[in-house]
Structure 1
Amino acid sequence: MVNKSRRNLLKAAALLPLAAACDGLAWSGLAWGAGAPATQASFALDMTRPGRRVDPSLASLSYETLELSDPTFFAADNHGLVHLFREMNPHGVLRIGGNTSDDTVWGGYKGSMPTYVPRRHGKLLQPHVLKPEGLQALAGFVRATGWKLVFGVNLRIGSPEMALDLAQTVQRLVGDQLLAIQIGNEANNYEPDYTAFDTAWTPYAKALRAAGLPLAGPDTGANTDWVIEYAKRHARENVFLSRHYYREAAENGSIPDMLAGDPGFFGEVEQIMRAADQYGLPFRISEGNSYYNGGRDGTSNVFASALWGADFMLALAQRGVAGMHFHGGTLNSVEASLGRVAKAPTGGDIVAQRDAMASRYSAIAGSRALGYQPRPLFHGITLAQRFAGAQMLPGRLDAGGANLTAYAAKQGDAVLVALINKDAQRDAAVALSGLPHGAKGELMRLRAPALDSRRDVSFAMDGHVSADAGGACRIAVPKGSAAWLRWA
């Protein structure tokens, strides 16, 4: 009978020379599975072929227009929310839109109010009315956060005049922090094809362009062909291209499915980026998250979503996507956008109460009365955002059979590396090479007790590391965790 403990000790001893090159500290926090040796993986950086530069607004958010019905939510004096926005990214972009943007009429409009026709699958018999005080508060909020704003106007109702009046009001209040106006939300759900959408969109675009308003689009749900055709027809009239992304419907979601990734989608991203590059436009995922229909409880709001979110953002950045707007907000606003009445759980401590206030996939939970707290996804977003301004570097990854991804970038004189172990079973020991010879580095870890943890999630410093004279180091990345390193 083989002595497994002795065998594992011998394997660990074999790794000691490389561990010493990393000052031994890269192994801190490691919790190897009982009797399970670490998967041996490697990541070789290539400094000679720098790739895409990461936009500072990579980490961005999206909220329903209905959120503006409470002028105390997006408000300059909602300090808890302002603080978390700035902590996530001091240079982010807030997108206001979603289903409710096409269910909203502008209360400040003095013209003839168009007839509202409920969405085919909706239950809203009367439109939401956006009041001026909601916009005024929003303007104060974006000034307090320093974020830019993307604002969606109602296309489905068929009133360019009302959209123009609303967009001009937004521009007057927000000023230079208005990045773009988008016309319609997921028009693929109510227009039969791109030609029909373009016919409906064009009168709006003409009116808004004539008034000097910046445009972006097409803000479609999942139609890459629409984005490419839109770029061909309207690139010169826009400041960026956009579409949405969700992995699947919430009822089909699970932690294994989410962490398996979606390689087919990245093929679509590359198609769009070729068009974006051709016309010199940025491309943004203006709304997205793990699963549509509001996210899945126990999947979209647990630690696994942090690993998925960090990996997804860095995969987008590697391909040149400028921004990822994670959709979220209050449970009431997202459920109303789906034609449902919110049914939040009650009771529990303050953490549970705040959590119950938020939609299942929101990166931020809470309310003005209860205060705000970061969800697990928030921490994954902040990991990826640490690549802001850096230039991505190619690398050769051998994951050793584990569900492991790796990213590298050059940020000034520093080299960044992210190692994301989405595997539920296998710890990984990753041999890095191609680092600056003898470089010193700092290590941060993204971790939680388990993939389905809702609490005790952290992204925090875990010591210092150093590469050897050959630019090599070995980093331990336990199952269900991630490591971020900065070498100088």
Structure 2
Amino acid sequence: MHPLLPRVRTTDRSRLAAGLLATALVLGATTAAGAAAQPGAAAVPVITIAPTTTGTSLTAGSAGLSFEASDLALSSFTSGNLAAYLKTLGTSVLRIGGNTVDQTFWTSTGEAPPSWSTATITPAGLTALGTLAKASGWKVILGVNLKHDDPARAADEAAHAVSALGASLQAVEIGNEPDLYPQYANNTGQFLTDFTANVNAIKKAAPSVAIVGTDAAGSPGGAFQNAFIANQAALAHPSVSELTSHVYPLTSSTCGGSPTIADLLGTGVRDAETGVAQSAAAQAARLGLPAVMDEGNSVVCEGQQGVSDVFAAALWEIDEQLDLARGGVAGDYMHGTVIQCDAPKPLFMYYTPLCAPTAADAAAGRLAAQPEYYGLAAVHQVGTGNFLGLDNPAYATLRAYAVRHPDGTMTVVLDNVQDPAANAATTVQLDLGSSFTSGRRVDLTAGGLTATGGITLGGQSVQSDGSLPAPAATPVAVNGATVTVAVPAGSAAILTFGGGGPTASTTFVGGPSGKCLSVTGGSTAGGATADIYTCDGSGSQNWTPGANSTLVGRLSGKCLEVTGSSTANYAGVDIGACTGAANQQWTVTPNGTVVGTQSGKCLSVTGASTANGALADIYTCNGSASEQWAER
């Protein structure tokens, strides 16, 4: 049985009884956040990192977001600053679904909505969604209504989505938590029939679109998901490209629970989440597909005030994202909203990463970062790479992860989930598994687990425009394979180790613009163009000197190169798989220029522009300001 309480629709609260028993069993396990430090000296725990990988990865698409389908009917959803908040988190997946996917009505012909509809979605809404996706660089999974089954209407919406979103449309999702629909209770066969009818209609109208499912609320290993997997396995090829489900570890008081911060940060929840990740990955592997938790958060039934909306949720977010990714889950999308903060449930969710401070802000789409958003920003700060195995004897109170990046550097995350009101810092020794000569550290901190403000990542706060200034890193002394680190209770430390000073990641800040050399849209794809953008500390703005005088993107693991090996003035600059070719070789000179080895020309900005998104190119070195770059 699923060790976590599955996502439950607010209209089906009678279904909670069995789940609450499971939750009670989970919460009977050890909790961490409220435990006081034990008296007496103790040996420093040693966290041992293995040189071998776990076979799982942290990718640019690991940490995503999920919103309600009804949000598409709000002009503020796409006209405000959401795109900037998305871009600050890099490039990932924006899933549109939730309970309201079955309460919204799609029409491309101006029909009057039926009585059950709470919002109407039109082609104009999809066009605006496409604009948001392109501005942020995020992909979209779009949910269509299944509860009010109408395959032709779903197909029409999918076809319009392909037209409006183009390459930004990752997939279409059919329904939301169909295992909770009354018509499918004890009738999984009817679901499979209806699902197949929708797939066939969508594929006929939009042959290129991918389908994901089942989007179940229940256990990844439950009967509903097993029936679906058996059905898909009998096909020549699965009709879905991802196996999706939901996960929420605790239950709010709205639905009969009584969650606490100690519960959220305790080992009971953590162990259950690990089990869910492993189960989801194993089930998806039966079909040769990735497992995705495309909706989830801390507490089901719109969250718990004082638990889901405080700094403790940011520490939980780091642990949950990294735990699921290390367990083999390809994507974990946090559900949220864009309406006014602290509005009535069920449209407002206390766990939301973003919300609007006032009614006027909500109308204008002016969002503000909530504590959980900082947890997502911290995960983005880790960068991409392969998880390394480790042994952590301090696991109950200090969660640890190690990620090896394509450039050979390694990031270790130490997440101290203890309450700082009752606990001192935890000191551990890291056995790094390899020898390093340089290190740097970025901390996520706040005034306590219940803080709702004053949260900083590397000393920086998310700005009202959605940007996050580059977090400040402090040096970590390391010369070999061990280092001793102290992490204050109620904080997280992100430590990155390299082979020496020159191999530490750096940013290149343009002279006249004050903006960072970046990759357009935060893309990690080969051929993605290089540009300049407001420095926000994102991985796409971090470059590491690699072998053969290359500059390796921290987020992508790909090398900065001159497009097509051109040596002409105005030749473009992009990223590509590192080959050590001459067009990927650069010299960073003492006078602040970056000179291409093959061309002998300077890295520049087209037209000496200072605008966000202005493309990088090469040009004959002439001492102009647009050829000046400062490393920071």
TM-score category, normalised to shorter length: 0.7 to 0.9
**C-alpha spacing 1:64/1:49, structure 2 compared with 1 (3 Å):** closer
Matching of residue 97 in structure 1 with residue 97 in structure 2? yes
**C-alpha spacing 1:128/1:281, structure 2 compared with 1 (3 Å):** same
Rounded Cα–Cα distance in structure 1 between residues aligned with 2:289 and 2:78: 29
Residue 440 of structure 1 aligns to which amino acid in structure 2? S
Match of 2:555 in 1: none
Match of 2:194 in 1: 200
Match of 2:228 in 1: 230
Q: Secondary structure at the match of 1:295?
A: coil
Of 458, 474, 484, the residue aligned with 2:484 is 474
Of 289, 295, 299, the residue aligned with 2:303 is 295
Residue 486 of structure 2 aligns to which amino acid in structure 1? A
Q: Secondary structure at the match of 2:241?
A: strand
Match of 2:217 in 1: 221
* Pairing 1:6-405 to 2, within 5 Å after superposition: 40-75=44-79, 78=80, 80-89=81-90, 91-109=91-109, 125-190=116-181, 191-193=184-186, 194-211=188-205, 212=207, 213-224=209-220, 225=222, 226-234=224-232, 236-251=238-253, 252-260=258-266, 261-331=269-339, 340=346, 359-366=349-356, 367=361, 369=364, 371-399=366-394, 402-405=396-399
Alpha carbons 1:294, 1:335 under 8 Å: kept: no
Q: Please, which runs of 5 or more residues in structure 2 have no aligned partner?
A: 1-35, 459-471, 499-632
Shift of 1:467: 2.2
Shift of 1:47: 0.7
Alpha carbons 2:340, 2:355 under 8 Å: kept: no
Shift of 1:57: 0.6
Shift of 1:385: 2.5
Rounded Cα–Cα distance in structure 2 between residues aligned with 1:157 and 1:485: 50
Alpha carbons 2:53, 2:387 under 8 Å: kept: no
Match of 2:497 in 1: 487
Alpha carbons 2:50, 2:432 under 8 Å: kept: yes
Shift of 1:372: 2.6
Alpha carbons 2:47, 2:390 under 8 Å: kept: yes
Alpha carbons 1:294, 1:334 under 8 Å: kept: no
Shift of 1:266: 2.4
**C-alpha spacing 1:83/1:115, structure 2 compared with 1 (3 Å):** closer
Alpha carbons 1:163, 1:204 under 8 Å: kept: yes
Rounded Cα–Cα distance in structure 2 between residues aligned with 1:137 and 1:479: 43
Shift of 1:396: 0.7
Shift of 1:373: 2.3
**C-alpha spacing 1:51/1:387, structure 2 compared with 1 (3 Å):** farther
Q: Number of paired residues? A: 424
Over aligned residues, Cα RMSD in angstroms? 2.6
Rounded Cα–Cα distance in structure 1 between residues aligned with 2:322 and 2:127: 35
Alpha carbons 2:77, 2:338 under 8 Å: kept: no
Give the TM-score of the pair, scaled to structure 1: 0.81
Q: Secondary structure at the match of 2:100?
A: helix
- Deviation sequence 1:229-256 (CA, Å, 0-9, x none): 3233236211111001111221122111
Structure scoring higher RCO (CA < 8 A, sep ≥ 6) equals: 1
Give the TM-score of the pair, scaled to structure 2: 0.63
- Deviation sequence 1:298-341 (CA, Å, 0-9, x none): 111110000000000000110121111100013479988x7x5x
Shift of 1:181: 0.4
- Deviation sequence 1:104-139 (CA, Å, 0-9, x none): 11121578x8966xxxxxxxx544211332222111
Rounded Cα–Cα distance in structure 2 between residues aligned with 1:99 and 1:284: 18
Shift of 1:474: 0.7
Alpha carbons 1:72, 1:137 under 8 Å: kept: no
Match of 2:450 in 1: 452
Rounded Cα–Cα distance in structure 2 between residues aligned with 1:393 and 1:153: 38
Of 430, 433, 449, the residue aligned with 1:432 is 430
**C-alpha spacing 1:133/1:36, structure 2 compared with 1 (3 Å):** farther
Alpha carbons 1:51, 1:394 under 8 Å: kept: no
Match of 2:412 in 1: 417
Alpha carbons 1:409, 1:417 under 8 Å: kept: yes
Rounded Cα–Cα distance in structure 1 between residues aligned with 2:162 and 2:365: 32
Rounded Cα–Cα distance in structure 2 between residues aligned with 1:34 and 1:274: 39
Shift of 1:95: 0.4
Q: Secondary structure at the match of 1:434?
A: strand
Of 449, 463, 467, the residue aligned with 2:474 is 463
Q: Secondary structure at the match of 2:52?
A: coil
Residue 192 of structure 2 aligns to which amino acid in structure 1? D
Shift of 1:383: 1.7
Shift of 1:481: 0.8
Q: Secondary structure at the match of 1:238?
A: coil
Q: Identify the range of structure 1 (364-373 vs 167-176) with the bigger mean alpha-carbon deviation.
A: 364-373
Rounded Cα–Cα distance in structure 2 between residues aligned with 1:281 and 1:375: 33
Among the aligned pairs, what percent are the same residue? 28
Rounded Cα–Cα distance in structure 1 between residues aligned with 2:57 and 2:157: 35
Shift of 1:33: 8.8
Rounded Cα–Cα distance in structure 2 between residues aligned with 1:246 and 1:106: 28
Q: Secondary structure at the match of 1:63?
A: strand
**C-alpha spacing 1:361/1:482, structure 2 compared with 1 (3 Å):** same
Higher helix share: 1
Shift of 1:283: 1.2
Alpha carbons 1:58, 1:385 under 8 Å: kept: no
Alpha carbons 1:331, 1:360 under 8 Å: kept: no
Q: Secondary structure at the match of 1:165?
A: helix
**C-alpha spacing 1:223/1:210, structure 2 compared with 1 (3 Å):** farther
**C-alpha spacing 1:239/1:304, structure 2 compared with 1 (3 Å):** same
Alpha carbons 1:58, 1:388 under 8 Å: kept: no
